[in-house]
């Protein structure tokens, strides 16, 4: 078998020949896509696997897999590909609204999810992220993030056929199905894991296994601990005495992407899911996928090469599929994953964390700075903005940014942790600590939006803070993502401590079952559920009717008030001025501050005319979305 050469032109015929030998001659559509994307894929393979004996063979196998997958792609999905090709920026629309839930907790099973479609439509969802639903170990499976098979749905939830037909129903309802692609690791029960441990030929190098502590000790000099409550460091010991890389839980084993067979295998799993009707893959834990001795083993250049290579494969065989990056790291690193060639979408953990930071401090400066400095993304890509997720909140702001305001990152994080777990006197929050690490002083926090914002503590500002946080997430640009149940103010669920499988992981406090009672109250303005639901649905409707909210362009606005965040979303004839008061008092915006605009503004949420001649008053934790025209 020849080896990879430096030039794609020298290898393309061999790859074509090998792929055709495996799956037959491709159709014209695939041949066109192959010709277009092979020149991208090949050099990435050379960079990643150029020194390997099997580089060319694996590349040909990937292409064969892509061709077979294209042949098997259902016609309605090919039609969807065409539609998306005509409107490639569909996800930048102001109609976009995401929802996320656990299948079992929210709806029992996949059939239960289908029954919720009318509600999802009522809410306005266009994007539904179903949390991991694949086969995974009994008991603790990190909420399904330990995958035992990417091709089988957890039988308690349904089957792969059920998933495909749910995807089709969602598609008809205008909702794109999003699932996790947990590609940094598999569970220890995955067949590859079993074969690797048994030393089965072809699988020995699927994971990172070491005979003794020599290499693990070397790596651990520079690698941070992610789940120190579960095990110290990044390795766990196998029953036979060897050590295996496990960044997260001891039963989640990191795959070895230095082996091209792993790339090929995972590309196959990705294509399989794409053909079931999944439209967006949430690329889990992207920062961790490549390891190199002497580094932090996070966000290495090869992680980007791998994402680019996966993308090139998809463009050949499932062209409308998108990637969403889950990188909860330093903001400089988060943004590196976002491009048309890597992840077209990305969580925005900085905006999320700084929204909570601003609510705690009643000071919007860090959030304002982040919006002005770190919000811009490459054309055609978008943030996914959320108030909270199924995970903990980590204070991932850049220390350099905070230092500009004289804020010390370490002590500020300690304050925020204390504040959100209710250790700080007068705090309105009822959160729970997560992974407190006594060695480093590091910690994160957990809690539902309502509990963190003060509703659980019966703080007078609770409901308004929930609405305010969403008013920010829904207006900065990109795809807003609701944690389903938060729109009816669901509270923390402390019963996780009673179940052995969840007791050790405080993230379960904010993953309650579907709050039936609260949903029943959602039209009752006398309840917290009703007030939050009203507030959020008003925002959602207003966003849908406000074309200025499409895309992500944002310009800062200095509201000249210590508690008020301000920014502008430019449109064609007018712009939307967003003001958000994170303080506990009425905020008066001086007329001179608004003197650059015509005095007649429109509140796009209420539809009312607003006269700016005498300035503007914002309620405590109040916001304004105003359509204004510059003078």
Distance of alpha carbon 142 from alpha carbon 248, whole angstroms: 9
Q: How far is the CB of 275 from ligand GLC (least distance, A)?
A: 24
- Give the 3-state DSSP-derived string for 120-170, with helices as H, strands as E and coil as C: HHHHCCCEEEECCCEECCCCCCCCCCCCCEEEEECCCCCCHHHHHHHHHHH
Q: Is 391 in the site for ligand GLC (CB under 6 A)?
A: yes
Identify the residue among 208, 271, 328, 481 touching ligand GLC (CB under 6 A).
328
Q: Is 432 in the site for ligand GLC (CB under 6 A)?
A: no
Distance of alpha carbon 509 from alpha carbon 503, whole angstroms: 10
Structure tokens at 260: 């091209």
Q: Is 394 in the site for ligand GLC (CB under 6 A)?
A: yes
CA 45 to each of CA 68, 167, 313, 342: distance values in angstroms, whole numbers, following the listed order? 20, 32, 11, 15
Q: Which of 284, 298, 486, 528 is catalytic?
A: 284
Closest CA to 199 of 242, 153, 150: 242
Q: Is 442 in the site for ligand GLC (CB under 6 A)?
A: no
Contact assessment for residue 485 and residue 101, using Cβ atoms and an 8 Å cutoff: yes
DSSP state of 242: -
Q: Is 67 in the site for ligand GLC (CB under 6 A)?
A: no
Size of the site for ligand GLC (CB under 6 A): 14
Q: How far is the CB of 513 from ligand GLC (least distance, A)?
A: 18
Scanning 187-195, 211-219, 301-309, 326-334 for contacts with ligand GLC by CB under 6 A, the matching segment is 326-334
Q: How far is the CB of 392 from ligand GLC (least distance, A)?
A: 5
- Cβ-based nearer residue to ligand GLC, 284 or 336: 284
Structure tokens at 304: 């980007």
- Cβ-based nearer residue to ligand GLC, 335 or 542: 335
Contact assessment for residue 280 and residue 178, using Cβ atoms and an 8 Å cutoff: yes
Scanning 209-217, 322-330, 445-453, 489-497 for contacts with ligand GLC by CB under 6 A, the matching segment is 322-330
Q: How far is the CB of 586 from ligand GLC (least distance, A)?
A: 38
Q: Which of 65, 81, 104, 326 is catalytic?
A: 326
Distance of alpha carbon 171 from alpha carbon 180, whole angstroms: 18
Q: Is 142 in the site for ligand GLC (CB under 6 A)?
A: yes
Q: Which long-range contacts (CB under 8 A, 24 or more apart) does 198-205 make?
A: 202/261, 205/256, 205/258, 205/259, 205/261, 205/262
- Cβ-based nearer residue to ligand GLC, 446 or 568: 446
- Cβ-based nearer residue to ligand GLC, 330 or 543: 330
Scanning 52-60, 159-167, 170-178, 321-329 for contacts with ligand GLC by CB under 6 A, the matching segment is 321-329
Q: Is 326 a catalytic residue?
A: yes
Q: How far is the CB of 303 from ligand GLC (least distance, A)?
A: 12
Structure tokens at 195: 């074969």
Scanning 56-64, 140-148, 416-424, 590-598 for contacts with ligand GLC by CB under 6 A, the matching segment is 140-148
Q: Is 4 in the site for ligand GLC (CB under 6 A)?
A: no
Residue by residue, DSSP assigns 55-101 as: HHHHHHHHHHHHHHHHHHS-HHHHHHHHHHHHSTTGGGSTT--EEEE
Q: Is 392 in the site for ligand GLC (CB under 6 A)?
A: yes
Q: How many residues does the chain have?
A: 631
Q: Is 182 in the site for ligand GLC (CB under 6 A)?
A: yes
- Give the 3-state DSSP-derived string for 267-310, with helices as H, strands as E and coil as C: HHHHHHHHCCCCCEEEECCHHHCCCCCCCCCCCCHHHHHHHHHH
Structure tokens at 457: 């503590």
Stretch 225-264: interaction string toward ligand GLC, x if CB under 6 A: -x---------------------x----------------
CA 575 to each of CA 294, 491, 540, 612: distance values in angstroms, whole numbers, following the listed order? 49, 36, 18, 15
The residues, ordered by sequence, that sit 6+ positions from 566 with a Cβ below 8 Å of its Cβ are 368, 556, 557, 558, 559, 577, 578, 579, 580
Contact assessment for residue 549 and residue 543, using Cβ atoms and an 8 Å cutoff: yes
Residue nearest to ligand GLC (CB): 145
- Cβ-based nearer residue to ligand GLC, 226 or 579: 226
Q: How far is the CB of 293 from ligand GLC (least distance, A)?
A: 20
Question: b/e for 2-16, b at 16 or more Cβ within 10 A?
Answer: eebeeebeebbebbb
Distance of alpha carbon 41 from alpha carbon 59, whole angstroms: 9
- Cβ-based nearer residue to ligand GLC, 226 or 594: 226
Q: Is 205 a catalytic residue?
A: no
Q: Is 266 in the site for ligand GLC (CB under 6 A)?
A: no
Closest CA to 435 of 141, 220, 230: 230
Q: How far is the CB of 334 from ligand GLC (least distance, A)?
A: 11
Q: Is 521 in the site for ligand GLC (CB under 6 A)?
A: no
Distance of alpha carbon 324 from alpha carbon 337, whole angstroms: 9
Scanning 21-29, 139-147, 270-278, 542-550 for contacts with ligand GLC by CB under 6 A, the matching segment is 139-147
Q: How far is the CB of 284 from ligand GLC (least distance, A)?
A: 5
Q: Is 219 in the site for ligand GLC (CB under 6 A)?
A: no
- Cβ-based nearer residue to ligand GLC, 329 or 536: 329
Residues 283-302 that bind ligand GLC (CB under 6 A): 284-285
Q: Is 44 in the site for ligand GLC (CB under 6 A)?
A: no
Contact assessment for residue 630 and residue 478, using Cβ atoms and an 8 Å cutoff: no
Contact assessment for residue 358 and residue 367, using Cβ atoms and an 8 Å cutoff: yes
- Cβ-based nearer residue to ligand GLC, 181 or 419: 181
Stretch 458-497: interaction string toward ligand GLC, x if CB under 6 A: ----------------------------------------
Q: How far is the CB of 544 from ligand GLC (least distance, A)?
A: 28
Q: Is 179 in the site for ligand GLC (CB under 6 A)?
A: no
Q: How far is the CB of 67 from ligand GLC (least distance, A)?
A: 31
Contact assessment for residue 395 and residue 357, using Cβ atoms and an 8 Å cutoff: yes
Identify the residue among 145, 290, 508, 597 touching ligand GLC (CB under 6 A).
145
Q: Is 65 in the site for ligand GLC (CB under 6 A)?
A: no
Residue in the block written with tokens 């949430």: 282
Contact assessment for residue 284 and residue 184, using Cβ atoms and an 8 Å cutoff: yes
Q: How far is the CB of 142 from ligand GLC (least distance, A)?
A: 5
Distance of alpha carbon 570 from alpha carbon 429, whole angstroms: 35
Residues catalogued as catalytic: 284, 326
Q: Residues in the site for ligand GLC, rule: CB under 6 A?
A: 142-143, 145, 182, 226, 248, 284-285, 326, 328-329, 391-392, 394
């Amino acid at each position: 078998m020849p080896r990879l050469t430096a030039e794609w032109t020298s290898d393309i015929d061999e790859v074509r020949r090998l792929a055709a030998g495996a799956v037959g001659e491709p159709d014209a559509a695939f041949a066109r896509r192959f010709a277009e994307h092979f020149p991208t894929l090949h050099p990435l393979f050379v960079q990643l696997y150029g020194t390997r004996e099997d580089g060319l063979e694996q590349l040909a196998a990937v292409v064969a897999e892509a061709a077979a997958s294209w042949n098997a792609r259902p016609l309605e999905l090919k039609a969807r590909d065409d539609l998306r090709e005509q409107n490639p920026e569909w996800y930048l629309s102001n109609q976009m609204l995401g929802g996320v839930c656990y299948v079992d907790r929210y709806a029992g099973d996949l059939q239960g999810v289908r029954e919720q479609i009318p509600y999802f439509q009522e809410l306005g969802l266009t994007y539904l992220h179903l949390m991991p639903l694949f086969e995974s170990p009994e008991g603790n499976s990190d909420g399904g993030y330990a995958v035992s098979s990417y091709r089988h749905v957890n039988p308690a939830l349904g089957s792969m056929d059920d998933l495909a037909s749910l995807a089709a129903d969602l598609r008809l309802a205008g909702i794109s199905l999003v699932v996790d692609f947990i590609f940094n690791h598999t569970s220890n029960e995955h067949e590859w894991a079993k074969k690797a441990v048994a030393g089965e030929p072809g699988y020995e190098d699927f994971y990172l296994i070491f005979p003794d502590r020599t290499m693990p000790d070397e790596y651990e000099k520079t690698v941070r601990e992610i789940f120190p409550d579960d095990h110290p460091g990044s390795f766990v010991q196998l029953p036979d005495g060897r050590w295996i890389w496990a960044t997260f839980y001891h039963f989640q084993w990191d795959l070895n992407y230095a082996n091209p067979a792993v790339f090929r295998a995972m590309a196959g799993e990705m294509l399989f899911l794409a053909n079931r009707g999944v439209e967006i893959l949430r690329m889990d834990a992207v920062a961790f996928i490549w390891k190199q001795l002497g580094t932090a083993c996070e966000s290495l250049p090869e992680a980007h090469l791998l994402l680019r290579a996966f993308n090139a494969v998809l463009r050949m065989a499932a062209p409308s599929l998108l990637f969403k990056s889950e990188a909860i790291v330093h903001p400089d690193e988060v943004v590196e994953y976002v491009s048309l060639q890597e992840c077209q979408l990305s969580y925005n953990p900085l905006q999320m964390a700084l929204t909570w930071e601003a609510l705690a401090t009643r000071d919007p400066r860090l959030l304002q700075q982040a919006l002005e400095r770190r919000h811009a993304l490459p054309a055609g890509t978008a943030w996914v903005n959320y108030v909270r997720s199924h995970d903990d909140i980590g204070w991932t702001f850049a220390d350099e940014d905070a230092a500009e305001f004289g804020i010390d990152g370490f002590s500020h994080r300690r304050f925020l942790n204390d504040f959100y777990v209710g250790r700080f006197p007068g705090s309105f929050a009822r959160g729970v600590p997560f992974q407190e690490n006594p060695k480093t002083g590091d910690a994160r926090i957990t809690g539902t939006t309502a509990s963190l914002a003060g509703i659980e503590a019966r703080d007078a500002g609770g409901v308004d803070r929930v609405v305010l946080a969403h008013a920010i997430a829904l207006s900065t640009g990109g795809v807003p993502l609701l944690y389903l149940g938060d729109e009816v103010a669901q509270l923390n669920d402390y019963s996780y401590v009673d179940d052995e499988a969840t007791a050790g992981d405080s993230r379960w406090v904010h993953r309650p079952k579907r709050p039936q009672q609260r949903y029943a109250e959602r039209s009752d303005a006398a309840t917290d559920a009703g007030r939050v639901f009203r507030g959020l649905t008003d925002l959602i409707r207003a966003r849908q009717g406000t074309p200025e909210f499409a895309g992500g362009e944002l310009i800062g606005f200095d509201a000249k008030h210590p508690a008020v965040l301000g920014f502008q979303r430019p449109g064609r004839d007018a712009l939307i001025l967003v003001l958000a008061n994170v303080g506990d008092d009425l905020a008066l915006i001086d007329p001179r501050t608004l003197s650059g605009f015509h005095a007649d503004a429109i509140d796009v949420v209420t539809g009312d005319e607003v006269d700016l001649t005498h300035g503007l008053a914002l309620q405590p934790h109040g916001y304004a979305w105003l359509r204004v025209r510059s003078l």
